[in-house]
């Protein structure tokens, strides 16, 4: 009887493989009741900027800048984590400068690296190609059209978006509306971009730009989780939810000077993944 009770209690303490008894260091100054802390990685990552969930391989990839975000110093690398935040291999793929955004198409990862788009073969665990952006200054977030395999990359310093199509990497869209463009997200045949104080909706064919949401603040991470529902982050440490244009704060570590960079998301578990940049951790929260 006691043995069965212990088994039952253990089962109740775990939700979808995550233990709810985990403790968090550096608890946010503000944490919405819509978020529940799940886990955090060890604080041994080296300026983690972006985290990407690989559903096929059931793991996470994290870009580590390890230095200045604009220095071509060869220090940058990708880490591989499991879905409970354990670091499987810290320097999973090296040979980059200051890697940031990550996207996946087929068996390849596409990673922005200052003025290069780096292609990584996941099976071989190695860089197989680098596309150089001739005029690129600060390539940042990356997204991909899952149907066509077209890769889009934001250049925050030039207010433009680059595109990899038919093995050509070149400037695709240059507009004053792309003010400080950072977060990118592709869904249902449209490209979405997070810029200074707005989310934009872009038609990839006509390049027509429409404003979807105003008064967002400066967007870093941008993820779509449902129809007309977004999660955004800003580098200062705020994460917000947008539902049908209404903006609600989910967490803030700004006063603690803990950043919130390019978000990741595990949709089947409703887990938001927050890279803390100089705080050197990935923190996972489950959203209601």
Question: DSSP secondary structure string, 189-221?
Answer: TEEEEEEEEEEEEE-TTT--EEEEEEEEEE-S-
Would you state the pLDDT for residue 23? 86
72-97 pLDDT, tens digit each: 999 999 999 999 999 999 999 999 99
CA dihedral in degrees (36, 272, 76, 113; nearest 10)? -150
Domain ranges of the chain: 2-287
Find the angle CA(90)-CA(117)-CA(181) to the nearest 5 degrees.
100
> Contact at 8 Å (CB) between 78 and 63?
yes
Distances (CA, A) of 13 to 7, 8, 9, 53: 10, 9, 6, 24
φ and ψ of 279, to 5 deg? -85, -10
Would you state the pLDDT for residue 16? 45
Find the angle CA(153)-CA(69)-CA(52) to the nearest 5 degrees.
50
CA dihedral in degrees (110, 91, 224, 27; nearest 10)? -160
CATH number of 2-287: 2.120.10.30
Would you state the pLDDT for residue 152? 99
Distances (CA, A) of 239 to 52, 102, 222, 270: 17, 19, 10, 15
Tally Cβ neighbours within 10 Å of residue 21.
6
Would you state the pLDDT for residue 227? 85
Which regions in the chain score pLDDT beneath 70?
1-21
214-224 pLDDT, tens digit each: 999 999 999 99
Would you state the pLDDT for residue 14? 42
């Amino acid at each position: 009887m006691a043995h069965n009770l212990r088994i039952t209690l253990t089962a109740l303490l775990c939700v979808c493989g995550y233990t709810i008894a985990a403790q968090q260091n550096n608890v946010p100054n503000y944490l919405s009741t819509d978020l529940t802390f799940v886990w955090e990685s060890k604080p041994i990552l080296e300026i983690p900027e972006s985290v990407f969930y690989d559903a096929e391989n059931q793991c996470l990839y994290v870009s580590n800048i390890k230095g200045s975000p604009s220095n071509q110093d060869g220090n940058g690398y990708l880490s591989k984590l499991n879905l409970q935040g354990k670091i499987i291999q810290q320097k999973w793929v090296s040979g980059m400068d200051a890697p940031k955004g990550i996207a996946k198409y087929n068996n390849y990862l596409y990673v922005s690296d200052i003025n290069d788009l780096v292609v990584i073969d996941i099976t071989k665990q190695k860089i197989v190609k680098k596309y150089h952006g001739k005029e690129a200054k600060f390539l940042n977030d990356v997204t991909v059209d899952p149907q066509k395999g077209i890769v889009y990359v934001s250049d925050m310093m030039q207010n433009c978006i680059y595109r990899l199509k038919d093995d050509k990497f070149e400037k695709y869209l240059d507009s004053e509306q792309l003010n400080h463009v950072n977060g990118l997200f592709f869904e249902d045949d449209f490209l979405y971009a997070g810029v200074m104080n707005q989310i934009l909706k872009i038609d990839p064919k006509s390049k027509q730009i429409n404003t979807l949401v105003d008064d967002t603040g400066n967007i870093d991470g941008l993820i779509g989780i449902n129809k007309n529902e977004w999660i955004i982050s800003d580098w200062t440490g705020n994460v917000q939810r947008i539902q049908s244009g209404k903006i609600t704060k989910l967490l803030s570590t700004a006063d603690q000077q803990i950043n919130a960079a390019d978000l990741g998301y595990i949709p089947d578990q409703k887990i938001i993944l927050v890279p803390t940049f100089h705080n050197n951790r990935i923190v996972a929260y489950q959203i209601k």
